[in-house]
Structure 1
C-alpha cells in the first residue's frame, strides 16, 4: 500500500506481506460487517436490486454520519469500470429517492428517513488498486467520490488507504471555493467577533489536508475524510463550538475549553467538544484538530 510495510515484532522482526483477497466477496463481507467503524457509514443493505428495468445490484447501500446516502462498490483488484458502475447506480438512486427513504425507514426509523441529506450523496469505491486515470477521472464528476485501496496483512490485519476524496458539486466544495453563503448565515446568528472566529476555524480545519470534503448540514458543518473528523456549529453570541473525533481520554480536558460529551446529546458528531471564544483558543485548538484529523 503505497510503500507501507508492516512488521510483526513478537519474535524478532518479520515482514507481513500485503495481499489481495481471494475473492471480492471477502472484502465486501468484512466491510459490511464493520462499515461504521471502517467508513463512518451505517450499513443498510447488501446486493440491493435496482429492479428489472435498470437490471443491476448495488454492492452495499448505507447512510453516513451526516445523513447522506452512500453507495459502496467493491473490486478484488484493479478494475477500470468500478467508478462508472458506481455512477450508474448513483443516477438510479437519485431518481428513486423514495425507495431509499423506505429502506432507511425500515432499518433506522422514520425520523432518520425524514433527514436524508440529498445534497451530498456519496460513492465509495473499495478496490485492490486504482490507476492514475481513475484518480483524475473522479475530479471530473459532479458527485462526491472516494477511492479506497485495501490490503489484507496476514490473517489478523486489514488496511484501507484513501487515494482520492473529491467533494461533489452538489455538496459544499473543498478548501477555498466557498465562503459567502456560510459567512452570511453565521453573521446572521452571531456578533462580528464570533462570526470571524468561526471563519478562522473553518480555514484551520480545511487547511489540515487536501483530502477534505466539507458538508453543510442544517445544524452544523461537517469536515470529512472517509469519516467526519470535525463538526462546526453556527457561532453563538460568546463562543464557537467544535466537535471532534479525537478520543477525550487521550487529551487534556481543560474546564471551559475542552470537555468529554460522550454521554451528552449535541449537534454534529464526535465525543470531544471544544468551546472557542478567542483567537488564542483557536491557537491551542490546533493540536486537537490535528489529532482528530489523524484519527480518521
Structure 2
C-alpha cells in the first residue's frame, strides 16, 4: 500500500483517508478522459476488441511509441501477463494499429511509429513484490502505476516501478552523438555526453528512449529531450513550465508554441561545461515535475 498521506489544513489538520475506486471502470474513464495530462499518452481507443481479447486502452506516448494501458481496481496477480498478451497482439498486427493512428491523428504520426519501444502501463490499486521483481525478467517496457483517490476531488498516481525492456537496454549507452554526415567539434560531443550522464544520474527510474531526432529521458513521461550536438551548442528541451523558472538570456528560452524536436516548452542552449553547471537546477526541476 502507498505510504502517501494527504492532510487538509483548513480549520485544523485532518488526514484525508485514501480509497480505491468503486469500480475499475471509474479509474479507466478518468484516465482516458485526461490521459495526456496524467500519463503523457495521447488517447487512441477504449475497449478495443480483437479475436481473443479486449484491450482496456490504446494510446501513443510522447515519442510516438504504441502504448497499452491495463487497469485493475485493486491488486491482481495477472495484470502484467494480461497486458503483455495485449501488447504482443499490437506488435503482431501493426497494420491494424497504424490504421487506428491514421484515423485519429492523421498520416504523419502513423508513418513514424516507434515500434522499437512499445510500452505497457499497468494502473492498479497496488502491486505485489512479485510484480515488481518480475519486471526485470520481461523484454518489454513496463510501468507499474498505483492510484489512490483522496476525498471527492483528488487522485494520486505513483510510479511504483519501471523497466526499460531489453531492446532499450541494448541501446542504453551514450546517445547517438552525431548524425551521419554531420561533423561537430569534439568539445560539443563531450558536452553532449556529459548532459546524457547528468540526466541519467537524476534518479534510479530514468529510462532513455532513442529517437531519430532526439534522445528522450523519461520517468512515466518525458522530462527531457536531448538533441544531437550542433557546431556551437547542445540543445535540451525540458518539461518545466517556463513561467515557473527564472529565464537566463543565452541559456534558457521559452519555446511554447514554437516547433522543435522533442517535448517540453523550456529550451536550454548549452555551449560549455560552465553552462552545464547552471543547467543542473533546471534538469532537477523538470525531473521532479514528470
- Match for residue 94 of structure 1? 91
Residue in structure 2 matched with residue 77 of structure 1 by the alignment: 74
1:274 equivalent in alignment to 2:268 = yes
Deviations 1:191-245 (A, max 9, x none): 2110000000000000000111100111000001110000000000000000000
Q: How many Å apart are 1:11 and its aligned residue?
A: 1.9
Contact kept, 8 Å, 2:208 with 2:218, in 1: the verdict is yes
Give the aligned partner of residue 224 of structure 1. Answer: 218
Q: Classify 1:200/1:239 alpha carbon distance in 2 versus 1 (closer, same or farther; 3 Å).
A: same
Q: 1:189 Cα shift?
A: 3.9
Residue 156 of structure 1 corresponds to 153
- 1:212 aligns with 206
Q: CA deviation at 1:182?
A: 2.3
Q: What does residue 20 of structure 1 align with?
A: 20
C-alpha change, 1:184 and 1:273, in structure 2 (3 Å) is closer
Q: CA deviation at 1:4?
A: 1.3
Task: Give 3-state SS (helix, strand or coil) of 2:212's partner.
Answer: coil
Is this contact kept in 2: 1:186–1:235, CA < 8 A?
Answer: no
User: What is the alpha-carbon root mean square deviation over aligned residues?
Assistant: 1.5
- Could you say if the C-alpha distance between residues 170 and 105 of structure 1 is closer, same or farther in structure 2, counting changes exceeding 3 Å? same
- Tell me which of 133, 137, 144 is aligned to 1:140: 137
- 2-side partners of 1:230 and 1:26: how far apart? 31
Q: TM-score, normalised by structure 1?
A: 0.95
In 2: Cα distance, 1:186 partner to 1:283 partner: 29
Secondary structure in structure 2 of the residue aligned to 1:129: coil
1:108-187 aligned within 5 A? 108-171=105-168, 177-179=172-174, 182-183=176-177, 185=179
Query: 1:101-153 deviations in whole A, cap 9, x for unaligned?
Result: 00000000011100110010000000000001100101111100000000000
Q: 1:90 Cα deviation (Å)?
A: 1.0
CA distance in 2, matches of 1:190, 1:109: 35
Matched residue SS, 1:182: coil
> Is 1:247 aligned to residue 241 of structure 2?
yes
CA shift at 1:2, angstroms? 2.9
* Aligned counterparts, 1:251-270, within 5 A: 251-270=245-264
Q: Which whole-Å deviations, capped at 9, do the CAs of 1:36-60 have from their partners, x for residues lacking one?
A: 0000000000000122xxx100000
- Deviation of residue 190 (structure 1)? 1.7
Looking at structure 2, the residues matched to 187 and 133 of structure 1 have their Cα atoms a distance apart, in angstroms, of 47
CA offsets per residue over residues 29-88 of structure 1, 9 Å max, x none? Answer: 00000000000000000000122xxx1000000000100000000000000100000011
